[in-house]
Structure 1
Amino acid sequence: MSDRQLPAKTALRDQLLAARRRRPLLEVGEAARATAEHLLHAPEVRRAATVAAYVSTGAEPGTSSLLAGLTAAGKRVVLPRLLPDGDLDWGTWRGETALAPARMGLLEPVDSLGVDAVATADVVLVPGLAVSADGMRLGRGGGSYDRALARVPAGTWTCVLLHEEEVGIEVPAEPHDRRVRAAATAAGITRFGPAPA
């Protein structure tokens, strides 16, 4: 089934994107700093040697503070590079000045580690628009992150970054959709499964 056959998914995306566009930039920045603090103190992130993350755009929950904090903590960070077929290659985070403009208003690393590099991460932080109470993530509809998450080994901590009201929403799902193990917001981290040791 494609998104064209799931009008409920399209309608939910439109509603969530409209709400994000109305969010004041000051609020987005404050929420980004709070979300970063929660993630940087999460046991899964503290233990990680390599973290897969991304560079936020627009009204997405911001990642600048998070990326700076991961670097300061000595983590190796890999970021996605959108390929022409919609899949994700990965490159190394070397600071904002080492990013290049890309399609769809994205900023990406210039090096290429390959599509399987996401499997080397101990923690995978992904964007999304919503997540259900059981961890079903709603993305923007391209399937890029569902493909990437399919390469992540079982047991790897996967977490979607969202605004508080985007957590616990009923999300229409298709067979290719991938669940995440947690959601991070300015209010804290919601885990969908057993607590970390």
Structure 2
Amino acid sequence: MHTTHMTHSTAKRTLRAELLAARRERPEAARGADSAHIIAALTAGLSHLGVRTVAGYAPIGSEPGQPLPDALLAAGFRVLLPVVRADNDLDWANYRAPTDLAAAGRGLVEPVGRRLGVDAVAGVGAVVVPAVAVGRDGGRLGRGGGSYDRSLPRVPAGVPIVALTYDNELMDVVPTEPHDQRITAVVTPSGGWLTLPAATAEPRSG
């Protein structure tokens, strides 16, 4: 079991490094065009589902989906953004304007408003999560910090958990480990909103 764990961890690190390097090499204009398609498909999908409150995030660097928080606000959603705690779990705060954001550790930006607690994510209508890659089986490859794997078990079954990726980052499968939380949908520039089999997978548990 230890060997299997190491194999999966190594595979995740290798794939993550390759995809992040590919992101950095993408021309800025291409990233912007892809993000515009992603945002349009995401907001249309959330509206179709009748979602009113979204737990999102603020993409940085070459991540797809910029400018996600402002786009969600413009589409009429209430927006919560994450705050990484010292234990790598996620607290949450409301987002109302770009002035709500401040630089944080690891190159991230975080909301500066009143913290709502780690359980605030349990009351949203959808969660939009970052991903380096997504498998069509619902597997998600993140940055490796484990924050969303700590937070997502608080999200009730049936609430959409949606990742945003570039086209090449949607794969048949990605390497995962038992603690990795599955997602229920992915949005890509060319494919739009795709519901994944994890929507009917086993319930999340802490």
Question: SS of the residue aligned with 2:187?
Answer: strand
Contact 1:3 1:9 in 2 (8 A): no
Percent pairwise identity: 46
Residue 7 (structure 1) shift = 0.9
Q: Which residue of 189, 196, 202 corresponds with 1:192?
A: 196
Deviation of 1:63 after TM superposition, in Å, equals: 2.8
The one-letter amino acid of 1:89's match is D
Counterparts of 1:34-183 in structure 2 under 5 Å? 34-43=37-46, 47-64=50-67, 66-111=68-113, 112-183=115-186
- Does the 8 Å contact 2:32/2:66 carry over to 1? no
Q: Distance in 2 between matches of 1:2 and 1:185?
A: 34
Unaligned 5+ segments in structure 2 are: 201-206
- Partners of 2:46 and 2:23 in 1: how far apart? 29
Change (3 A) 1:3 1:72: farther
Equivalent residue letter for 1:91: A
Contact 1:39 1:45 in 2 (8 A): no
Assess, with a 3 A threshold, how the Cα gap between structure 1 residues 80 and 87 changes in structure 2: closer, same or farther.
same
Distance in 1 (CA, whole Å) between partners of 2:46 and 2:82 is: 24
Give the 3-state SS of the residue equivalent to 2:158 in structure 1.
Answer: coil
Please state how far the C-alpha of 1:45 moved relative to its aligned partner.
5.8
C-alpha separation in 2, matches of 1:92 and 1:2: 43
Change in Cα spacing, 1:41 to 1:173, as seen in structure 2 (3 Å) is: same
Q: 1:45 to 1:78 in 2, by over 3 A?
A: farther
Moved runs in structure 1, 4+ residues, more than 6 A?
1-4
Give the conservation status (yes or no) of the 8 Å contact 2:54–2:126.
yes
Q: Deviations over 1:33-65 (max 9, x none)?
A: 11110011115665111001000001110331x
Give aligned pairs, total.
194
The structural deviation recorded for 1:158 is 0.6
Amino acid at match of 1:42: G
TM-score (normalizing by structure 1): 0.91
Secondary structure, in 3 states, of the residue corresponding to 1:170? Answer: coil
| 8 A contact 2:135–2:170 mirrored in 1 | yes
Note the C-alpha offset of 1:100.
1.1
For 1:115, give the aligned amino acid.
V
Distance 2:62 2:17 in 1: 14
Contact 2:5 2:177 survives alignment (8 Å): no
- Give 2:35's aligned residue: 32
SS of the aligned residue for 2:171 comes to coil
Structure 1: any 5+ residue segments left out of the alignment?
A: none
